[in-house]
Amino acid sequence: MSLQTEISYSVAIRTLGTAGDKYEKLMNSVAALVPKPKEVVVVLPEGYEEPEYQIGCELFVRSQKGMIVQRLEALKYITAENILFCDDDVEFECDFVQKLYEPIRNGYSCSAGPLLEFFPPAGIKYLIASLMGGACVMLHSRDKMYTRILNTGGWSYNRNVKTDEHHILVAESLAWTCFFIKTKVMKLIQFENETWIERNGYAAFDDRVFFYKLCINGYKSCIISDAVYIHNDAMTSTKSLKREPIYARAFNHYVFWHRFLYNTEKHLVLKLWKRICIEYYILMVKLAGKIKRVPKTTYNATIKGFKEAKEFVKSEDYACLEDVWL
């Protein structure tokens, strides 16, 4: 059996139907994929119109509006063994799925292409982020790793990915914009238990929560260095964030750390160390805010996010969340 005939997959797209030319580029990419997907499921929020541009094989379905709920809604209609999840602003080459499937057939549960523009830019901002423990350049295992989660709840990343060469690099976190996953794993991970991410109206850390939950439950994720794709929307840049997303990022950062790093640690000394790491991170965020003289509303939203997250993890609502272990 050839690789092309072996691959059973569907495409799932989350959209508001308003991406215009970006959506058209995505759908042209989907139409050109080899092999063809079993189905193309496009999930729109209730009340939103279908995109004008269509390729003729889409199944349009409705759900509540949300980054998580729209992706989960697609699962109800998928019949293939694997799923290519896409935001509505990516494009790729016709052999994209063939590259992503290679590690899946060799023991991985999830794969993606590298998205290096999501990494912090070099320069003073990188140095500040590294000192804070929020985002650090990976110093070792760069021949094996793409990303690693830190004890602060932050992450380290491999900037030295050679996209003109073929390598498979292990990832503890990925961009949620475009990824390929086994359907049964997507269902087993029970991501519907993590809808707390959207409780503040913005799903900050959704990617980190999802892929690290896969990781700690033994489902391996990776990137294929030459499975390059284009992300046509820069709106996720922190420069565009308003007060609400800034609050949500601080809130979700702390809850992610508590739920997936602190609560899962059984060794008392390591548990104490992780507590020191998050408090160090919060202190550094405060200091950086003062030194950089960030706007008062931004600074206050960040501090409020951390403060109310600490209250949330002591609440009955938090205690009622399902265990992260499957």
Q: Which of 237, 270, 290 is the last residue of a domain?
A: 237
My answer on whether 47 and 117 are in the same domain is: yes
CATH number at residue 202: 3.90.550.10
pLDDT value, residue 241: 42
pLDDT value, residue 23: 98
Q: Which two tokens stand for residue 57?
A: 């094989």
Residues 6+ apart with CB under 8 A from 16: 44, 45, 48, 65, 88
pLDDT value, residue 123: 72
My answer on whether 16 and 111 are in the same domain is: yes
pLDDT in tens, 248-276: 999 999 999 999 999 999 999 999 999 99
Summary mean pLDDT of the chain: 93
Residues 6+ apart with CB under 8 A from 77: 39, 41, 59, 61
My answer on whether 13 and 159 are in the same domain is: yes
Residue 21 amino acid letter: D
My answer on whether 209 and 288 are in the same domain is: no
Q: Examine residue 84 and state whether it is found in any structural domain, yes or no.
A: yes
Q: Examine residue 326 and state whether it is found in any structural domain, yes or no.
A: no
Q: Examine residue 227 and state whether it is found in any structural domain, yes or no.
A: yes
pLDDT value, residue 120: 82
- Burial degree of 191 (CB within 10 A; 0-12, 13-18, 19+): buried
Q: Examine residue 324 and state whether it is found in any structural domain, yes or no.
A: no
My answer on whether 19 and 77 are in the same domain is: yes
pLDDT value, residue 261: 98
Largest CA distance in the chain: 61
pLDDT value, residue 236: 46
pLDDT under 50: residue ranges of the chain: 234-242
pLDDT value, residue 227: 98
pLDDT value, residue 4: 67
pLDDT value, residue 263: 98
Whole-model pTM?
0.94
Is the backbone of residue 315 left (phi > 0), alpha (psi -120 to 50) or beta? beta
